[in-house]
Amino acid sequence: MAINPRKLIEDIKKFLAQNGMKAEDIDKFGQQLQERLDNVAPPTIAIIGFTGVGKSSTLNALFNAGQMTSDVRACTQDAKQFTGDIEPYTGKKGIINIYDMPGLGESIAKDCLHYDVYADILPKVDVIIWAFHAGDRAMTPMQNAILTLIDRIGPSFTEKMLFAINKADTIAPGESAWNEEFNIPSAEQKLNLNGFESYVRERVKEVLPSWNGPIISYSAKRRYHLDQLMTEMVSVMPNDIKWVLSELADVADYTELIDPEHLELIKAMKADIK
Amino acid sequence: MDKEITIHSPEFQAIYEEISERAEAIRKRDELSDVSFRDWLCKAIEELASKLGYHIQNIYEFTLDMGYSFQKGFEAGRERARKKAYRRRQQ
């Protein structure tokens, strides 16, 4: 991380002195700026998806380098009564506030209850992640939710929304097709992932014709496309706090899961790309 | 698994593409974060200075030259700031 608060404040103090600020005011300024930096609010993320879609493993892969946290609540995969409570997730570099939102489609009655909570919470968060399993073609509940929510709270929430398709490694023809040696999808899986992303985009555009937000296929387990997912999360955040989420990112390195025999090749590629 | 990989292997192309895409994603994130932080900092400096009774000119230029860029550190940030379109957009 490049922000060194002490150095930053020293540089700003020099700049202020050069621009004529009195010494006692410079000290006050420095203290107040330090307080602002110390008290930047953690980003708030709403993750929508059924239990088992991989919300905990995704958070661990994005903010804790793939390690399980010691926070039991962040690790649990038990179904829980959804109350709309915010849960702090402690990543390696700091806290992110998470709203763990249940998936839709279980029943009409439950969806109606969930809409109330979505309408309350989604306007408050910085990023909304709709999480799906790769290959799960049941899009009607998501479409209904978007239409209902636009009706209730207006369309602005769709600007901070992205679709995250987890378990990319399981897409047809199946997990056995995944190229474990290089930790990448097989050619057929890659085609199917591209096809599924197009499918999701078409379904979203049926209810939001002008939406051109991000849709990312990834695998929390294989660490595949995590940097792409993190970047798109940053991109949909409000501009003045994109840097806060980026500061907290601790993305698991997917090249660590590549066969060590190919390390030299990977290093040469990375050097070439730089 | 014993397998010789050459630049002609399909796996080579596939993995090269993945690593390129990843590098590009990180570069894009750094850029978004740089601009975001500078905007945040400018606003903070202006507000705090104003409370003390000062109006600071050239604050955006200062944050560009200060170069607090993500990942690459102070000097690289200064150099990159000079080249970036952000400065041109401000002119």
Q: Where are the domains of chain B?
A: 31-90
- On whether the CB atoms of residues A36 and B43 are closer than 8 A, the answer is no
State pLDDT tens for residues B4-23.
667 777 778 888 899 999 99
| A231, A241, A274: residue with CB nearest B36 | A241
Contact A3 B29 (CB under 8 A): no
Q: Quick one: how many helices (H) and strands (E) in chain B?
A: 4, 0
Q: At what angle do helices B59-66 and B73-83 cross, to 10 degrees?
A: 130
- Domain residue extents for chain A: 5-38, 44-273
Class of residue A24 by CB neighbours under 10 A (exposed 0-12, middle 13-18, buried 19+)? exposed
Which has more pLDDT, A198 or A267? A198
ipTM of the complex: 0.87
Residues of chain A contacting residue B68, judged by C-beta atoms under 8 Å apart: 2-3, 8
The encoded tokens of residue A52 equal 């088992």
Most A CBs within 10 Å, among B32, B47, B65, to test the A interface:
B32
- On whether the CB atoms of residues A114 and A101 are closer than 8 A, the answer is yes
Residues of chain B contacting residue A16, judged by C-beta atoms under 8 Å apart: 49, 56
For A44-273, CATH number out of 3.40.50.300, 1.20.1330.10, 1.10.3720.10, 1.20.1260.10 equals: 3.40.50.300
Phi, psi of A131, deg, nearest 5: -105, 135
| A12, A29, A240: residue with CB nearest B36 | A240
pLDDT for the residue numbered A137 = 93
CB pairs under 8 A between A and B: 125
pTM value is 0.85
State pLDDT tens for residues A79-134.
333 344 566 777 777 888 888 888 888 888 988 888 988 999 999 999 999 999 99
Q: Quick one: how many helices (H) and strands (E) in chain A?
A: 10, 6
Q: Give how far A80 is from chain B: nearest CA, Å.
A: 34
Rounded CA separation A177/A188 (Å): 8
The residues, ordered by sequence, that sit 6+ positions from B48 with a Cβ below 8 Å of its Cβ are A29, A32, A33, A36
Phi, psi of A94, deg, nearest 5: 145, -175
| A228, A265, A266: residue with CB nearest B21 | A228
Contact A19 B57 (CB under 8 A): yes
State pLDDT tens for residues B26-81.
999 999 998 898 889 888 988 998 898 888 777 777 777 665 544 344 444 444 44
| A36, A182, A246: residue with CB nearest B29 | A246
Residues of chain A contacting residue B69, judged by C-beta atoms under 8 Å apart: 2
- Using CA atoms, how far residue A174 sits from A117, A156, A188, B73, B76, in Å, is 35, 37, 10, 43, 44
Rounded CA separation A64/A68 (Å): 7
